[in-house]
Amino acid sequence: STLLADNELWPDFILEVDPATDEVIWEWHTWDHIIQDHDDSKANYGVVGDYPGRIDLNWDTSDGVADWMHSNAIDFDPINDQVIMSVPTFHEVWIIDHSTTTAEAASNSGGNSHRGGELMYRWGNPAVYRAGTAEDQTLFYQHDIHWIYDFLDFTHPYYGRLAVFNNQVGEDYSTANIFSPVFDMYEWEYPMDGGIWGPADYDLTLAHPTPTAMYSTGLSSLQCLPNGNFLIMSGRQGYAFELTPENEIVWEYVTPLIGGVPVDQGEVPGLNQNLTFRIKRYPADYSAFEGRDLTPQGWLETAPDTDFCNLILPTSELTSDYRLQIYPNPVRDRLTIEWDGSVYVDLNITDLLGRTVWAGRVTGGRKYLSTEGWEPGLYIVQVNGVSVRKLVVSR
C-alpha cells in the first residue's frame, strides 16, 4: 500500500453555483462514493470489482501525493442532464447523474438513473474497477473531455459524441479522439458488456501529419469546428493547428510567450516555456460578445512583422499583379510556381511564424521547388511582396 506523502488527500468535488445569488444549488463529492478493500472495519469496505460505480480509495498512480485525482476538465450535457469529468490519474472519464438532489447525489439512489451520485459511466481504464486487461485501456492522462455540441447543429457528423485529448497514448506522440458510449434512454443507463463499459475503441483518432510534432504530456484540447475541421492545442508547446478531415493543416499558431512574457515574432519557445491550457474558437455572433468592444488592442508578440501579417490576414489572396499560380496545392514533395512575365522577380516562401523557408531572385515565369524536409503545414508564397498565395504542405 502507499502512504500519504503529506498526510493529506484531496478528493475532488463538483459545485453548481447560481451566479445571481452566489448560492451553491447542487453538489457532488467523490468522498461520498469511495470503496476500499484494505480495512474491513470501515463502512466503505467492499469488493472493488463488485461495485464499478464506486471509486477505489487505494487506486494511486501518484506515489501518495495529496492531489490524488487532479481532475482537469468538466462538461455538462443539458439534453440528458449529466455531468462528465476527466480524472487523469485514473486515466478515466466519469459521467454523473445531475438530475439528483444534493442529498441523492451523496447516496446510491435517486435521479433519473436511480443510482444517486454513483458513477453512471466510466471509461478509459477498466483495471481501476478490476475489469479487463492492459489492452483494454484507451485513455492515457487525458484532458478536455466534453460533449460535442458547442456552435454546431445536429447535422454535424460528430454531434453529441464525446471528444478528448489523449495525452500520453504514445511514448512520443499524443492523439485527439472522438468516441460514443452506448446510452439506453429507456433504462437511463450506459450498459456494460462483459463487465466493462464500452466502446472498445474510438470512432476517430486524429494525429498531427508528423505525429511527434504533437506530444504534450499534459494540458491540451480538441474542438470540432462547424466547417468540419478540427482545432487542436498541444499545450506544452503552446502549439495550435487546424486539421482537415483529410489530415491536412490549414492554420497554425504558436503562443508567443515565454513564462508569460511576450517574445519576438519568429522566436520559437522551448518545451514548457509557453504552456497553454486549451484553445477554443468562438463565432463572431457569440452572445458574450454583444455590447463588447472587440477592436484589436495591439500585438501580443514583440517586434511583429506587420507587413507579413497584413498579407495573410485577408481572406482573399492577392494575385492580380503577377497572376501567381502554385500547384499542386496541397503539395507533397515537388512544387511548381508560375507567374506572368519573364523579368526577374523576388520569390519568398515563409511559414506562419514568418520564418523564410526559401527565397531567391528568379526569372522565366516558372520555378520548380522540392518541398522535401519542409514540415507539414501552411506556408505563404510571395512574388515581389505583392502577389500572395497560401500553400499547404502535406505528407
Residue (of 192, 200, 232) closest to 216 by Cα position: 232
Position 109 pLDDT exceeds 70? yes
Residues of the chain above pLDDT 70, percent: 95
CA distances from 188 to 100, 113, 154, 197, 395 (A): 13, 5, 21, 14, 45
Span 157-211, pLDDT tens digits: 999 999 999 999 999 999 999 999 999 999 999 999 999 999 999 999 999 999 9
Position 47 pLDDT exceeds 90? yes
The three cell numbers locating residue 296:
484589436
Position 313 pLDDT exceeds 60? no
End-to-end alpha-carbon separation of the chain, Å? 48
Q: Check residues 317 and 374 and name the one with the higher pLDDT.
A: 374
Residue (of 342, 344, 354, 337) closest to 384 by Cα position: 344
Span 141-162, pLDDT tens digits: 999 999 999 999 999 999 999 9
What whole-number distance in Å separates Cα of residue 318 and Cα of residue 237? 32
**pLDDT of res. 395:** 72
> In which band, very low, low, confident or very high, does the pLDDT at 310 lie, cut at 50, 70 and 90?
low
**pLDDT of res. 120:** 99
Q: Check residues 112 and 339 and name the one with the higher pLDDT.
A: 112
| Residue-range domain boundaries for the chain | 13-289, 306-393
What whole-number distance in Å separates Cα of residue 336 and Cα of residue 328? 7
What whole-number distance in Å separates Cα of residue 126 and Cα of residue 138? 9
Span 282-303, pLDDT tens digits: 988 899 999 998 888 889 999 9
Which CATH number is 306-393 given?
2.60.40.3080
Whether this model's pTM surpasses 0.95: no
**pLDDT of res. 309:** 58
The three cell numbers locating residue 353:
511564424
What whole-number distance in Å separates Cα of residue 195 and Cα of residue 147? 24
